[in-house]
């Protein structure tokens, strides 16, 4: 099947039959911040402000290295922010300023 | 919404296509032949939704059954083993 | 999820603050300030998430084991079957996959991690892992063996790649020796993993 050699056309997320690390049935309890990401995503979806396929498209655009390195909800919050930027719901300046404000707040809280 | 072109039992081929955009047809299934297991209903096209278009008209969605031996020529499980995958109609053609 | 009296403060139990966690706080605060989402809605969503879990799927399976009319409805329209016992009505387009002496079903999403949240809660990490998504479609028996599940060659292993709009609930085989059990008792035997299809339901002895 010659076309199967077109691996540049294979998304980083499209994993069926790709050789990976060995399988192990691991799991962890979800952290509150992960549940918050999930809840915000569901709420945005309910309001028609975030289609699941938009989110997937943004996750798929992370690139190989980042797709592997980020945890599931790290991928989501990154992708959700991308879509909010694309839709003009938030701006990059607002996000940048708020991240720094949160960082400063945490530092002052010790 | 268009009537579904295929029905359960029809022999189909999954298109051997490699678009660069978002799509929901797994790479490993492309170009393979199988059988329609069922028509699932029609759904907005994810290849459009991903880019914030409305994905209409809705596209018929099917479950396609493939023998494992056809997907993986060196499959080591049992001959009986199968895989079922959801494929949108525009990814399918009759396999005669 | 616990109640969050001071939503602009991080949770202690969240551990170290990574850049992604900062981004989570920043985006959530901005969406709330702009009125895109509201506190009350967010709390309702947390509550809805807390109500989800394998106990919901287990109720369906136990009922299907006990009630032939319900099993018939599950086969024809599993979404209607979920709604008929008052489970969260959602976007879910559900298909029930019945394990039998001839067929063993197992579910994966190779492209992301599609999963029937309302019926099973949030998925385990392994379900979302690269290795599971890669291997279970190619070597399902090997992956099942990692869970201690081995099946004879006379049983068809049927892998379901949840690649688009449908979601799946495996109905494991009813364990032997459970004749006369009520639905509540039966539901105790139905684990999350048995409804993904990587293990059978618990046995009477395993309970």
Write the pLDDT tens digit of every residue in B20-31: 999 999 999 999
C5 has a pLDDT exceeding 60: no
Match 């084991």 to its residue by tokens: C65
Residues of C with CB below 8 A from A90's CB? 27, 30-31, 34
Which chains are within 8 Å of C by 3+ CB pairs?
Answer: A, B
Asked whether this complex has an ipTM greater than 0.85, the answer is: yes
| Structure tokens belonging to residue B26 | 């797994």
Provide the pLDDT confidence category of residue C2 given band limits of 50, 70 and 90: very low
**What are the C-alpha distances in Å from C93 to residues B56, C114, C117?**
19, 12, 12
Mean pLDDT for the stretch of residues B34-40: 98
Q: What is the DSSP string of B30-89?
A: TT-EEEEEEEEEEE--HHHHTTTS--PSPEEEEEEEEEHHHH-TT--S-TT-EEEEEEEG
Candidate from A4, A17, A53 with C-beta closest to B22: A53
Candidate from A1, A10, A53 with C-beta closest to B31: A1
Residues of C with CB below 8 A from A36's CB? 1, 24, 28, 46
Tell whether the torsion through CA atoms of A10, A14, A15 and A17 is positive or negative: negative
* Residues C117-167 pLDDT 10s: 999 999 999 999 999 999 999 999 999 999 999 999 999 999 999 999 999
Give the C-alpha separation, A4 to B91, whole Å: 16
| Structure tokens belonging to residue C178 | 């459970």
DSSP annotation of C94 reads E
Q: Is the CB of residue C100 less than 8 Å away from at least one CB of chain B?
A: no
| Structure tokens belonging to residue C44 | 């309702």
* Residues C41-95 pLDDT 10s: 999 999 999 999 999 999 999 999 999 999 999 999 999 999 999 997 666 899 9
* Residues A31-56 pLDDT 10s: 999 999 999 999 999 999 999 999 99
- Regarding pTM above 0.80, the answer is yes
For A16, nearest residue in chain B (alpha carbons): B28
Output the pLDDT for position C16: 81
Output the pLDDT for position B6: 98
Cross-chain Cβ contact B16/A3 below 8 Å:
yes
Output the pLDDT for position A51: 96
Q: Which of A60, B29, A43, A7 is nearest to C108 (CA)?
A: B29
Ordered by start, the domain boundaries in chain C are 17-50, 53-196
- Per-residue pLDDT of chain A (110 residues), as tens digits, is 445 667 788 999 999 999 888 999 999 999 999 999 999 999 999 999 999 999 999 999 999 999 999 999 999 999 999 999 999 999 999 999 999 999 999 888 86
Report if residue B4 sits inside a domain.
no
Class in CATH terms, C53-196? alpha beta
| Structure tokens belonging to residue B18 | 């490699």
C169 has a pLDDT exceeding 90: yes
Report if residue B27 sits inside a domain.
yes
Cross-chain Cβ contact B41/C93 below 8 Å:
yes
Report if residue B51 sits inside a domain.
yes
Non-local CB neighbours of A23 within 8 Å, separated by 6+ positions:
C126, C129, C131, C132, C135, C136, C143, C146
Report if residue B42 sits inside a domain.
yes
C13 has a pLDDT exceeding 70: no
Give the C-alpha separation, B17 to B29, whole Å: 10
Q: How many domains does chain B have?
A: 1
Phi, psi of A85 (to 5 degrees): -70, -45
- Please return the burial class of C83, using the count of CB atoms within 10 Å of its CB with bins 0-12, 13-18 and 19+: middle
Beta bridge partners of residue B94, listed in sequence order: B12
How many residue pairs from chains A and C have C-beta atoms closer than 8 A? 156
How many residue pairs from chains A and B have C-beta atoms closer than 8 A? 46
Output the pLDDT for position C8: 44
Distance between C101 CA and the closest CA of chain A, angstroms:
25
C6 has a pLDDT exceeding 50: no
Q: Which residue has the higher pLDDT, A53 or C205?
A: A53
Q: Which of C193, C160, C204 is nearest to A25 (CA)?
A: C193
| Structure tokens belonging to residue B53 | 């278009």
Query: Cis peptide leading into B57, omega within 30 of 0?
Result: yes
Residues of A with CB below 8 A from C129's CB? 23-24, 26
Output the pLDDT for position C89: 67
Q: Coil, strand or helix: which one is A29?
A: coil
Candidate from A16, A39, A44 with C-beta closest to C137: A16
Output the pLDDT for position C90: 64
Report if residue B85 sits inside a domain.
yes
Output the pLDDT for position C206: 85
Output the pLDDT for position A21: 87
C30 has a pLDDT exceeding 70: yes
Name the average pLDDT for chain B.
Answer: 96
CATH number of residue B56's parent domain: 2.30.30.50
Q: Is the CB of residue A93 less than 8 Å away from at least one CB of chain C?
A: no
Candidate from A15, A19, A32 with C-beta closest to C11: A32
Output the pLDDT for position A5: 67
Mean pLDDT for the stretch of residues B9-17: 97
Identify whether the C-beta of residue B46 lies closer than 8 Å to the C-beta of residue B55.
Answer: yes
Q: Which domain holds residue B22?
A: 11-94
Residues of A with CB below 8 A from C21's CB? 33
Q: Which of C12, C13, C24, C159 to mutate to test the interface with A (most CBs of A within 10 A)?
A: C24
Give the C-alpha separation, C94 to B6, whole Å: 21
Mean pLDDT for the stretch of residues B5-21: 96
Report if residue B16 sits inside a domain.
yes
């Amino acid at each position: 099947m010659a076309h199967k050699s077109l691996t540049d056309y294979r998304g980083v997320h499209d994993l069926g039959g790709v050789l990976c690390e060995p399988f192990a049935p691991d799991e962890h309890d979800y952290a509150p911040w992960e549940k918050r990401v999930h809840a915000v995503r569901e709420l945005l979806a309910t309001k028609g402000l975030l289609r699941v396929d938009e989110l997937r498209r943004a996750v798929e655009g992370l690139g190989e290295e980042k797709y592997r390195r980020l945890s599931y909800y790290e991928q989501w919050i990154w992708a959700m922010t991308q879509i909010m930027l694309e839709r003009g719901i938030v701006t990059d300046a607002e996000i940048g300023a708020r991240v720094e404000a949160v960082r400063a707040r945490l530092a002052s809280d010790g | 919404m268009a009537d579904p072109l295929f029905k359960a039992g029809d022999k189909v081929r999954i298109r051997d296509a490699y678009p660069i955009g978002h799509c929901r047809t797994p790479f490993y299934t492309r170009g393979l032949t199988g059988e329609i297991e069922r028509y699932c209903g029609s759904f907005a096209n994810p290849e459009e939704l991903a880019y914030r278009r409305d994905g209409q008209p809705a596209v018929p969605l099917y479950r396609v059954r493939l023998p494992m031996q056809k997907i993986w020529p060196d499959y080591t499980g049992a001959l009986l083993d199968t895989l079922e995958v959801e494929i949108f109609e525009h990814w399918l053609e009759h396999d005669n | 999820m616990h109640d969050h009296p001071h939503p602009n403060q991080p949770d202690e139990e969240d551990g170290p603050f990574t850049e992604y966690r900062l981004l989570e706080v920043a985006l959530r605060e901005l969406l709330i300030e702009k009125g895109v989402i509201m506190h009350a809605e967010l709390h309702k969503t947390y509550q809805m998430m807390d109500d989800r879990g394998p106990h919901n799927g287990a109720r369906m399976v136990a009922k299907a084991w006990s009630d032939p009319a319900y099993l018939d409805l599950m086969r024809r329209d599993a979404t209607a079957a979920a709604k008929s016992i008052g489970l969260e009505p959602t976007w879910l387009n559900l298909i029930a996959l019945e394990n039998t002496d001839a067929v063993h079903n197992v579910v994966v999403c190779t492209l992301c991690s599609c999963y029937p949240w309302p019926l099973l809660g949030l998925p385990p990490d392994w379900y979302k892992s690269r290795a599971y998504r890669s291997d279970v479609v190619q070597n399902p028996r090997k992956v099942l063996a990692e869970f201690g599940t081995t099946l004879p060659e006379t049983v068809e292993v049927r892998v379901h790649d949840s690649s688009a709009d449908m979601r799946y609930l495996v109905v494991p085989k009813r364990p032997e020796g459970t004749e006369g059990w009520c639905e509540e008792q039966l539901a105790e035997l139905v684990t999350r993993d048995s409804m993904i299809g990587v293990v059978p339901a618990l046995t009477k002895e395993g309970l």
